[in-house]
Amino acid sequence: MLKSTKLVNTTSVESLSQIWAERYVPDLSTLSIRSNQCAVSELVEAASPQGRVQTIAKLSRSVEINCKCAGIQTSVLFSYIPNIVNLTESQGIAKAAGQVYEKVLEVYQTQSPPPALQVAKSEAETIDFSSNVEASSAKLGLSVSEVKQLATVLEPVLLEFQEQHLSSPDRRAVGFLSTQFHLSSKLVLNRLTLAEQVLVSPYFKFVEEQVCIPWQRVCAAAAKHELDSPRLALVQQLLPKSQDIAEAVYQRSVKLYSNHRSRRGGLSNREVKLSTVRDLQMFQGYLSLCVLEESMASVQDELLPLCIMVFPAVEVSWELVEQMTQLLMDEVLARVSNEYKSLLVPYTTAMQQLFSNLETKV
């Protein structure tokens, strides 16, 4: 859940903000399927002020219609939930989503080319997406200042968006919102060239995560901790591993529950995988927030009620939720140094307890 959050300039906050920013890199492994190489000259041209103006001009004509199309797709996906979002609300959500993307593109237009492109500008190089993908991606990702600017610009828009639609009689509409943004990003990116996708996709990934994962609140919570705090060190270890942890838990879950099917399909379905991995990272975000706040309140008051409302609606079994929570907590514990395990165990144990016997909590 998004809350108004200010990032103070302390060393502790900056250390987590850097890790947060490192999440927003283009998915070159996916793009490489379409083209093995992308000439640096194409990226430099697309990243230039003139190139960004052209990108914005291209998208300004399509963002609104693509958000409306995403709204239609989302409505179809959620059609099994009676009256979750009526036509008027759906149109309002699509319009608000379009405004969010317009703000993102305003930020994108003001940014300078990534330093790696500025350095490579005079060289006749190519970026080979099929080798050293991680290093290439990192060079084209968002900086800390860009992430902070996005957070600041988008906060009032997203808070208003959230307030309007979380007041819906059916709180399961939260799932509708995250799906709306995911599908909108996908449709809008498809309008761009490969080079433009590489440059814009980190900004859109930020929007998708900002709606549901409390990374900004995690960074802000670091303000109460000194740089040598064991709690801060623990979270510093966990944050960079969140994607790998989520992927590992997802793969184990697919093997254990190969026959499980929700309204969206089986666990091996690509869209189900994306949403599941995102949910597993959301759980990790809340776990880190609890560690830094020294309280389970955010999970108990926000995450648990949300899951109790959403999962039955999409026919995700409580058994699967409980098992995946246990797998996630086990995987998280396995990824931290022994010196921090005793600090983390009370929170992983509490998380498992909160997400046990869920059928009795509905």
Q: CATH number, domain at 36?
A: 1.10.490
C-alpha pair distances (Å), 119 with each of 25, 124, 139, 328? 18, 11, 11, 41
Which domain range does residue 40 map to?
A: 25-141+153-212
- The C-alpha atoms of residue 182 and residue 177 are separated, in whole angstroms, by 9
- The CA R_g of the chain, rounded to the nearest whole Å, is 20
pLDDT in tens, the chain (362 residues): 678 888 999 999 999 999 999 999 887 765 554 555 566 778 888 989 999 999 998 887 777 777 777 666 666 555 555 555 555 566 677 777 788 888 999 999 998 878 777 666 555 556 665 566 666 677 788 999 999 999 999 998 888 877 765 555 455 555 666 777 777 888 888 888 888 988 999 999 999 899 889 999 999 999 999 999 999 999 999 999 999 999 999 999 999 999 998 877 899 998 889 889 999 999 999 999 999 999 999 999 999 988 888 888 778 999 999 999 999 999 999 999 999 999 999 999 999 999 998 888 76
> Angle of helix 173-189 relative to helix 144-166, nearest 10 degrees?
130
- The C-alpha atoms of residue 70 and residue 268 are separated, in whole angstroms, by 22
- 242 and 271 inside one domain: yes
- 273 and 320 inside one domain: yes
Q: Helix %, strand %, coil % for the chain, to 5?
A: 75, 5, 25
Predicted pLDDT at 77: 57
Buried-exposed string 157-196: b where 16+ CB fall within 10 A, e elsewhere: ebeebbeebeebeebbbbbbbbbbbbbbbbbbeebbbbbb
Residue with tokens 């998208």: 59
Domain holding 248: CATH number? 1.10.490.20
- The C-alpha atoms of residue 279 and residue 307 are separated, in whole angstroms, by 10
Q: Which among 165, 180, 212 is the end of a domain?
A: 212
Residue 75 CA neighbour count, 13 Å, CB half: 17
Hey, is 116 helix, strand or coil?
Answer: helix
Burial of 50 (0-12, 13-18, 19+ CB in 10 A): exposed
Residue 198 lies in a domain: yes
Beta strands in 124-187, from DSSP E residues, in sequence order: 126-128
- 235 and 202 inside one domain: no
Q: How many CB atoms lie within 10 A of CB 83?
A: 9
Residue with tokens 């706040």: 293
- The C-alpha atoms of residue 178 and residue 164 are separated, in whole angstroms, by 14
Predicted pLDDT at 153: 93
Q: Which among 212, 233, 251 is the end of a domain?
A: 212
Residue 1 lies in a domain: no
Q: How many CB atoms lie within 10 A of CB 308?
A: 17
Amino acid identity of residue 90, one-letter, is S
Structure tokens at 311: 């999962």
Domain count, the chain: 2
Residue 316 lies in a domain: yes
Predicted pLDDT at 172: 53
Predicted pLDDT at 237: 97
Q: DSSP per residue over 123-140, as a string? A: S--EEETTSSHHHHHHHT
What spatial distance separates the first Cα and last Cα of the chain, rounded to whole Å? 20
Burial of 63 (0-12, 13-18, 19+ CB in 10 A): buried
Q: Which among 212, 238, 260 is the end of a domain?
A: 212
Torsion sign over Cα 298, 221, 153, 65: negative
Residue 185 lies in a domain: yes
Predicted pLDDT at 27: 73
- 318 and 347 inside one domain: yes
Q: Which residues pair with 38 in a beta bridge?
A: 127
Residue 19 lies in a domain: no
